[in-house]
Structure 1
Amino acid sequence: MGQILDFYNIIFLVLAVVVFLRLRSVLGRKTGSERPPVDPYQGRDRPEVGDRDNVIPMPPRGAPGSGPEPVGETGEPVPEGSALDRALRAVMAADRTFEPNHFLAGARAAYEMIVTGFATGDRKALRPLLSKEVFDGFSAAIQDRESRGEKVETTFVGIDKAEIVEAGMRANFVQITVRFVSQLITVTRNAQGDVIDGDPTKVSDLVDIWTFERNAGSADPNWYLVATKTPD
């Protein structure tokens, strides 16, 4: 009787060893279908990189360039814990595609296109860059200028500085306000070609504060100019 029990014990022991080895062979190697480690700073609905060509995926926090530290041409960091720092981090949490320096590069390009487009009266170039309200205002100003036969000649010298000064959310919309300091040569001529404003030989400094907006919940990655003002 003892021999029979020993015989069955040996069989169960062999089976247990076989099962253990099989489990180890499966659990101990990667099959290619594992999920990546969870990043606590990464949103669930982050878009895939291939979905939108101009979306820059956010690196994990702590990686170089991952935070909102450099936000201007000077490279000066936003003071940690400041109102702007908190606002930028709130925006980055709501819109995982937002990265301050990448945004500023696009804002600089848009600024030059808008300034030159307004000067030449190019409504076609302006329309995709402006909100409806801003476009209507620009279009009305262009129409008024055209009705008097005036023309604006603008040479865009460059942008000395572009820095984010405000950031925030309006419902699901991200709003970023940028202060631009640029240099232009601009002249307005009347219908007879006489200079009525500006100086064709003088480079003028121009300071603008513009607010851009995009829908953080939309697949459209484009930003639109929604407000403009000049400093007091």
Structure 2
Amino acid sequence: MGSFDFVTIFFLVAAVVIFLQLRSVLGRRTGSERPPFDPYSKRETAAEADSADRGKVVTLPKRDGDENENPYAAIDAFTPAGTPLNEQLRTLVKTDPSFDPKEFVNGARMAYEMIVVAFADGDRKTLKNLLSREVYEGFDAAISERESKGEVVRSTFVGIEKADLIGAEVKDSEANVTIRIVSQLISATYDKAGALIDGDAETVAEVNDVWTFARDIRSRDPNWKLIATESEG
């Protein structure tokens, strides 16, 4: 009986101590508590919250140099200042501030692959969107001659090894940019009997081309079209 009373008293004391400790921690207010949730109170709408937040927006001042940003920064990063190519590209940017040489080269690489593949496949629709009228007529004539003879081109575009922007000029309202492209291609041409008459179906050949693209800088159309091709062997 005595031991029972002792254990009972021990747990009662322990319970009181724990209660006081919890109260000292849980009952303490820090000033950052959320108010009790009242399901019947009016809830703030998203529009009201947005309106309140707009009153807290602070407009940041412009950074120094924003208004005097170098318009030729992309050109100077692409090719050293003072070089002939740099001067040509600066002239182009004066008339077409949106021109970026790095982006142009990336776009020209994609256009080159599309044109080479489309020519091999006889895809006139794709070619018409990428070539000037004069260049398209030349490509179309070559495709038509191939078709009239029953010849078939089987081509695999391996990739572009190198693409260098080598010149730029502005003629009236037309911007011209020239790029030298070194690509790798597997191409073989067969006659209507299936005999190989040109190229090699297994050998990867290196192709060196110099292509010129043009765009009317007065037009809202940002696309460039191929206006001249030259093979360097």
- Rg bigger for which structure? 2
- Structure 2 equivalent of residue 150 of structure 1: 151
In 2, the alpha carbon distance for the partners of 1:69 and 1:150 equals 48
- Structure 1 equivalent of residue 119 of structure 2: 118
In 1, the alpha carbon distance for the partners of 2:62 and 2:206 equals 54
In 2, the alpha carbon distance for the partners of 1:123 and 1:192 equals 24
**Paired-residue identity, %:** 43
Return the offset for 1:221: 0.6
In 2, the alpha carbon distance for the partners of 1:197 and 1:140 equals 18
- Structure 2 equivalent of residue 67 of structure 1: 74
- Structure 1 equivalent of residue 84 of structure 2: 83
In 1, the alpha carbon distance for the partners of 2:216 and 2:184 equals 31
Q: Tell whether the 8 Å contact from 1:70 to 1:101 is kept in structure 2 after alignment.
A: no
Structure 1: gaps spanning 5 or more residues: 1-29, 41-59, 72-77
Say which SS state the counterpart of residue 73 (structure 2) adopts.
Answer: coil
- Structure 2 equivalent of residue 198 of structure 1: 199
Deviations along 1:153-194, whole A, 9 cap, x unmatched?
A: 110000001110010101011100000000000000000111
| TM-score using structure 1 length | 0.70
In 2, the alpha carbon distance for the partners of 1:217 and 1:152 equals 39
In 1, the alpha carbon distance for the partners of 2:200 and 2:112 equals 22
Return the offset for 1:92: 1.2
Return the offset for 1:31: 9.8
| TM-score using structure 2 length | 0.70
CA change 1:157–1:70 in 2 (3 A) is: farther
- Tell me the number of residue pairs that the alignment of Structure 1 and Structure 2 aligns: 175
Q: Tell whether the 8 Å contact from 1:70 to 1:100 is kept in structure 2 after alignment.
A: no
- Structure 1 equivalent of residue 210 of structure 2: 209
In 1, the alpha carbon distance for the partners of 2:133 and 2:58 equals 52
In 2, the alpha carbon distance for the partners of 1:112 and 1:94 equals 29
Return the offset for 1:138: 0.4
- Structure 2 equivalent of residue 97 of structure 1: 98
In 2, the alpha carbon distance for the partners of 1:68 and 1:164 equals 12
Say which SS state the counterpart of residue 68 (structure 1) adopts.
Answer: helix
Return the offset for 1:80: 2.0
- Structure 2 equivalent of residue 164 of structure 1: 165
Amino acid at match of 2:75: P
Q: After the TM superposition, which segments of 4 or more aligned residues of structure 1 sit over 6 Å from their partners?
A: 34-38
Amino acid at match of 2:70: R
CA change 1:181–1:221 in 2 (3 A) is: same
Query: Larger helix proportion, structure 1 or 2?
Result: 2
Return the offset for 1:39: 3.5
Say which SS state the counterpart of residue 75 (structure 2) adopts.
Answer: coil
